[in-house]
Every structure is written in C-alpha cells, then in structure tokens.
Structure 1
Amino acid sequence: MKMDSVRIDKYLWAIRAFKTRSIAAEACKNGRVKIGGSAVKASREVKVGNIIEVKVGVMNKTLEVKELIKNRLKASLAQEKYIDKTPAEELERLDMIRQMKTEHRERGSGRPTKKERRDLERIKKP
C-alpha cells in the first residue's frame, strides 16, 4: 500500500533526524521545523518532493522528501528516504564548531576568563 502523506513529526523520527517522536513534535511546536519557509505543526502532512528545513542542535538541515515512511528504519536505510540539500556553508560552519570544541588550551593556562569565554561564544554563534 502506497502512502501519499505522513505526519511531519513521524517522518522526522522515522528518518532519524530526532531520537524520539516526542522530541520531533516539540521541535515542530518550537518553530524549528519549516516547510516552504513557514513553521509547521507536528500534525502537518508531508508529501514526496517537499523541502523540509530542520534545526537540529546548532545545524540547519535542508531535506527533500524522496520516499515516505512511517516506521523507523536502520540508519543506512533511512538515509535513502531523503535527499540532504544542506548548503555547503552550513556544513563548513559545523566543521568549524567541531574543530573549536576539540581545540585544547595550553597546559597550565587554567580555565578561560569571563572575557575569553564570551569571545569564544561570540565566535561559535552564527
């Protein structure tokens, strides 16, 4: 049986964008999920070809629905159900954030001062 639409929270959970369906629904409620540039409710139906913008952590992902599923699949199969159209700038920003997290302070320099910490936070934010 072919489906013509699935709830957005269920789809995002099934493709493993979120760990639980309730977290996916909460993201919709908080406006972190958009279709066509407008925030959507968790009950919004998604169809093949829809472009979904999802804010997951610090990253803004752009996904195109390739195939509808409503049950969770293993990660390798779930990746085949959508096309990741996330801009290259966003991926570069994520790499920069990862590098900054792994950067280490010189041994013996101690904790960052309030000013140093604020400077680091300013660099990390988009």
Structure 2
Amino acid sequence: MDRMRLDKWLWAARFYKTRSLAAHEIGAGRVLVGGQAAKPAREIAADDLVEVRRPGQPPLQVRVRALSLVRGPAPQAALLYEETAESVTAREHAAELRRLAPEPAREFEEGRPTKRDRRQMDRWRGR
C-alpha cells in the first residue's frame, strides 16, 4: 500500500476520533496537504506534508512516515507521522505564552454580587 485516503489516515493516526469528524474538518478547510486545501478523498503518500489547524492552538505540521488502514494504540499511531521542527517550536512557544499569561479571574476583586447587592441594585434602578 503506497497511497491512502487523507481522512482514513488522519483517523488511523489519531488526529480525530472518527473518520467522519476528520472528513468534516478537512471539508471545513482546517487540514492542508502540501500547503493547499484538500478533500477527504485526497490520496496521500509517505513524505507528504500535512497541516492540521485546531482552534486556539498553532497549526500542527507533520510529515507522513507510514500508512495504516487500522487504528491502533497511540504509540503505534505516533509512528505514522513526524512533527516538523517549525511546528514543535511554534507549539512550545504557544505553551510558554499560555504559561506566562495572567490569570483571567484576577481581574475580579469582589466576586459575584450577593443577594443583598442585587436588591440594592434593583432599588437603585427603580424596580
């Protein structure tokens, strides 16, 4: 086997839980092959460059190393691809930025209004 469908490979490599979810994400334009948009039936081979975009994360660029028709355990699925050096550095940089970001809840000084506060606000608004 030297070629297989993109959606099957993404499912076998454990990027997506189901093949239909992989096909949906490919159709939405979140998966690129060789820098170009692809369709779920696009055939890929070894050494193809696949880019997977996920919300809130930097794009994940992987090079196809092997093909598999079955979805195996995670250690076996990790052998199907190799992440590029640029992707690794971008992912580590994003993780560092998240670690250094301020805690969003620190902006609140007093917390939620109490029942008494709500009643006072209602009186002030004339309700």
Question: If the length of structure 2 is used for normalisation, what is the TM-score?
Answer: 0.74
Distance in structure 1 (CA, Å) of the matches to 2:69 and 2:99: 32
Q: RMSD over aligned Cα, in angstroms? A: 2.3
Distance in structure 2 (CA, Å) of the matches to 1:54 and 1:18: 10
**Against the structure 1 CA distance between its residues 20 and 98, is the aligned structure 2 distance closer, same or farther, given a 3 Å change threshold?**
farther
Task: Give the Å deviation of 1:100.
Answer: 4.5
Identical aligned pairs, as a percentage? 33
1:10 lines up with 2:11 in the alignment: no
Partner in structure 2 of residue 123 of structure 1: none
Radius of gyration: which is bigger?
2
Distance in structure 1 (CA, Å) of the matches to 2:9 and 2:55: 18
Partner in structure 2 of residue 96 of structure 1: 97
Q: Which consecutive segments of 4 or more residues in structure 1 shift more than 4 A? A: 98-101
Matched residue of 2:39: which SS? coil
Distance in structure 2 (CA, Å) of the matches to 1:56 and 1:19: 14
Distance in structure 1 (CA, Å) of the matches to 2:99 and 2:42: 33
1:37 lines up with 2:6 in the alignment: no
Q: Which runs of 5+ in 1 are unaligned?
A: 112-126
**Against the structure 1 CA distance between its residues 95 and 75, is the aligned structure 2 distance closer, same or farther, given a 3 Å change threshold?**
farther
1:77 lines up with 2:73 in the alignment: no
Task: Give the Å deviation of 1:96.
Answer: 2.7
Q: Which runs of 5+ in 2 are unaligned?
A: 113-127
Distance in structure 1 (CA, Å) of the matches to 2:28 and 2:5: 16
Partner in structure 1 of residue 125 of structure 2: none
Check whether the contact 1:17–1:56 (CA below 8 A) recurs between aligned residues.
no
Question: If the length of structure 1 is used for normalisation, what is the TM-score?
Answer: 0.75
Task: Give the Å deviation of 1:51.
Answer: 0.4
Task: Give the Å deviation of 1:91.
Answer: 2.9
Distance in structure 1 (CA, Å) of the matches to 2:27 and 2:18: 14
Distance in structure 2 (CA, Å) of the matches to 1:105 and 1:30: 33
Task: Give the Å deviation of 1:92.
Answer: 1.5
